[in-house]
Amino acid sequence: MVTRTVVGFGRALALLALAVVNAAIGALALLLILLCFGLGLVFLFPATVRLVRRRAVQARRLALAFADVQIVPPYRAAPPPPVPQRDGWYREGRSLYRTSLVPNFMRTFDWMFKDPATWRDLAWLIADPLLGGVLVLVPPLMVAGGAVLVAQGPARAVAGVVLMVAGPLLAPRAVRLHGVWTRKLLAPTYRARLTNAMHHLTQVHTEAIDTQAAELRRIERDLHDGAQARLVAIGMTLGAAEELVDSDPAAAKALIARVREASAASLVELRQLVRGIHPPVLAERGLGDAVRALALDSPLKVSVSVELPLRPEAPVESAVYFVVSELLTNASRHGGAGRVAVDISRRGAALRITVIDDGQGGADPSRGSGLRGIERRVAAFDGVLALHSPAGGPTTASVDIPRAFDGQASCRTKLPAWKQSLMALCWGLGWLPLFPQGLVAAGFKIFGADERSWFLALYLPEVLQWPTIIFMIALGTAMLIVAQGLTQQAKQLESEVNT
């Protein structure tokens, strides 16, 4: 408690100092914007917006660190850089430019000017010294006022001490309110969230189409260069055997034997191709057994732990299977690993895949190694790849797919109907035996009141009154404990679904 109070008071002082800094930066930003649009110095606008955004980003981080208030960045995606035409000129609207300087500036200016978050950041920067500063000013002001009262003599010392104690105690709440206030202006609006979600969906859709097209081209290439070539060779060999059946039966038999070998090889290639599209073991036996089959085929020593009470949807299963396959391939081919641990588990409605290898580390998605393909594959399900691969190892790759069990979780992670009924009954009637029939009746019994009212125990024989009162108190307490336990269980299940 003391540590929390001291830390909260220190954070309030830090936020108060930052409010003064915000006042200075806000005044400077207003001056620069007036110069931009009043005197036509538009080249100052991007630098001004970057200055304000940098301070807003710091405020979001402090809100999370100080007040445990998470604020998602609301900014729209930056425009792509201008690309020259075939003749080397850059087109922006109806104008042509020799270099990319002017087109790039115009795109940046338009992006920043039309983003509502730009003006919300500026509004927060100007208003924070007035509103946020006042919130965190109250605790230090109470301490200072209390010190003044103590110095004025014993008559006011008690009030001064109360203020000096209450100020630090109030500081953590003031910091929390400051974080909430910051979130009011710096969090994305509903429209901004929709815009960002649409941009993300468009990007994911484009990447999914590109990935699908690349996969179709790979299948076409494998069929053309593998199975199709073998089938053509089989047809030609059968034609040659047909011509030699009468004149050289031994040679014809040898050709037919070659055809049988070629057909067996073609069948193996087709099975491998089908396995690359959708493994049969995945459809027949589920994700756990399919990953264990991958582990058996891997040259590494792979341990697999799968805890899935429910099967995710087929597209999610397929994506996870190929994610694990790619990570095992990377560990063997690029990481130089000897052992790999694969863990697949459910976290409420989410699915988590963790692959840890003892390789040399240094994996980086920007350098390829199939990691970018994994990111694109799981992005189609709003999944995220987290990679920790220091030089020297080990490498830990964690993939979270947030809504892999949405349908199952929503209907199978609620309390059963009988538990819900029991919880409602205990909450609704638990107070009755505890208070009026238990504690209040005990009070009447202790003080010897003649009034019996509607207290059941007082109408019983003397020998049964105290046992009945004790039973009522125990019953009411037990009912409230059961109700509280079921409520906590329901909240836990609900939080698992949400996470």
* CATH number of the domain residue 328 falls in: 3.30.565.10
| Mean pLDDT, residues 156-169 taken together | 77
User: Contact at 8 Å (CB) between 72 and 183?
Assistant: no
Write the pLDDT tens digit of every residue in 237-266: 888 877 777 777 888 878 888 888 778 777
Does the residue 145 lie in any domain?
Answer: yes
Strand partners, 129: none
Please tell me whether residues 266 and 242 are part of one structural domain.
yes
Residues 21 and 161 in one domain: yes
Give the angle subtended at the CA of 314 by the CAs of 357 and 199, to the nearest 5°. 85
Per-residue pLDDT band for 207 (boundaries 50, 70, 90) equals low
The domain total for the chain is 4
Check whether residue 300 and residue 399 sit in a common domain: yes
Q: What is the pTM of this model?
A: 0.52
* Whether residues 432 and 467 fall in one domain: yes
Same domain, 405 and 297: yes
Average confidence score pLDDT of the chain: 80
Residues 212, 165, single domain; the answer is no
Q: Write down which residue in 228, 257, 277 finishes a domain.
A: 277
141 and 268: one domain?
no
**3-state SS class at 401:** strand
Does residue 465 lie in a domain region? Answer: yes
Residue 194 lies in a domain: no
* Segment 392-446, tens digit of pLDDT: 778 888 888 887 776 554 444 567 778 888 888 888 888 788 778 887 887 777 7
**Residue 322 covered by a domain:** yes
Structure tokens at 380: 């189609």
Q: Does one domain contain both 381 and 419?
A: no
Last residue of one domain, picked from the residues 357, 378, 409: 409
Give CA–CA dist 422/426, Å, rounded.
Answer: 6
* Residues 489, 422 contacting (CB under 8 angstroms): no
User: Has residue 315 been placed in a domain?
Assistant: yes
Domain shared by 346 and 308, yes or no? yes
Is 121:186 a contact under the CB 8 Å cutoff? yes
Last residue of a domain, one of 256, 277, 298: 277
- Tell me 189's DSSP state: P
**Domain match, 216 and 269 both:** yes
The single-letter DSSP state of residue 17 is H
Contact 433, 470 (CB under 8 A): no
Mean local confidence (pLDDT), 36-56 = 88
Q: Identify whether the C-beta of residue 413 lies closer than 8 Å to the C-beta of residue 497.
A: yes
- Domain hosting 227: range is 199-277
In a domain, 471, yes or no: yes
Give the sign of the dihedral formed by CA 412, CA 413, CA 419, CA 421. negative
Residue 85 domain-assigned (yes or no): no
In this prediction, residues 337-363 reach a mean pLDDT of 83
More confident residue, 288 or 491: 288
User: At CA 390, angle to CA 384 and CA 395, rounded to 5?
Assistant: 55
Is 326 within a domain? Answer: yes
Distance CA 467, CA 442 (A): 11
Q: Calculate what percentage of the chain has a pLDDT beyond 70.
A: 88
The number of beta carbons lying within 10 Å of the beta carbon of residue 357 is 28
Report the C-alpha gap between 350 and 129 in whole angstroms: 41
Same domain? For 268 and 403 the reply is no
Based on the domain organization, do 148 and 16 belong to the same domain?
Answer: yes
Amino acid at residue number 396: T
Structural contact between residues 340 and 301, judged by C-beta atoms closer than 8 angstroms = yes
Alpha carbon distance 357, 337 (integer Å): 6
pLDDT band at 325 (very low <50, low <70, confident <90, very high): confident
Q: Which residue is listed with tokens 């605790």?
A: 139
